[in-house]
Amino acid sequence: MVERWVPRTERDELVMAAMASVRSFTDAMDRMHGGIRSDMDMNATDLAALRMLIVREQRGEWVSPHEIAEHLAISTASTTKLLDRLSESGHVERRPHPHDRRARIVAITEHARREFYRRFGERMVRMRESMADYSDDELRAVIRFLGDMEEALG
């Protein structure tokens, strides 16, 4: 068992404050996602799938059902049910892969895209505005820090 860590130095106190800030940030994200899930009448997995599809679409990437299953760490059977639900609600479409006629891709619908941006858009604007006073080097440090936190939790 790992013993409770107690800060002993100024550096330790700074690390503890950073961890508390990460916790507060993730709590705020959880509250935001909870509200949006409720507004959109979705569960957490449905919303996570839509967020993944939006991000991948912005990168110009196609998404297969297998990639959704992998990203969400769910079974292929659960992925099928998820995609059935999201298709039925008009949020996604299953389409033939543009280059491989045997494969299928999943695409977000225009309806879902509008709904997603209506609910997230204002928050995204406020988040971008909150970064205005940070230098490029500070933003690079934040990016590196959050990437390291993601890897530590993964």
Using alpha carbons, list the distances in angstroms from residue 125 to 13, 110, 128: 32, 21, 5
What is the average pLDDT score of the chain?
Answer: 92
User: What's the pLDDT at 105?
Assistant: 95
User: What's the pLDDT at 154?
Assistant: 79
Top pLDDT among 151 and 117 is at 151
14 pLDDT higher than 90: yes
CB 106 within 8 Å of CB 122: no
User: What's the pLDDT at 38?
Assistant: 77
Reported pTM: 0.74
CB 53 within 8 Å of CB 108: yes
15-74 pLDDT per residue, tens: 999 999 999 999 998 888 888 877 778 888 999 999 899 999 999 999 999 999 999 999
Q: Could you say which of 2.40.50.140, 2.30.38.10, 1.10.10.10, 1.10.10.60 is the CATH number of the domain covering 27-153? A: 1.10.10.10
88-100 pLDDT per residue, tens: 999 999 999 988 8
User: What's the pLDDT at 42?
Assistant: 87
The region of weakest confidence among 9-13, 45-49, 66-70, 116-120 is 116-120
**Could you tell me the pLDDT band of residue 123, with boundaries at 50, 70 and 90?**
confident
Which candidate, 30, 41, 118, 115, places its Cα nearest to that of 85? Answer: 41
Q: Average pLDDT in the 72-88 region?
A: 95
Measured in degrees and rounded to the nearest 5, phi and psi for residue 93 equal -130, 140
Q: Name residue 96's beta-bridge partners.
A: 104
Q: Locate the domains of the chain by residue range.
A: 27-153
User: What's the pLDDT at 2?
Assistant: 79
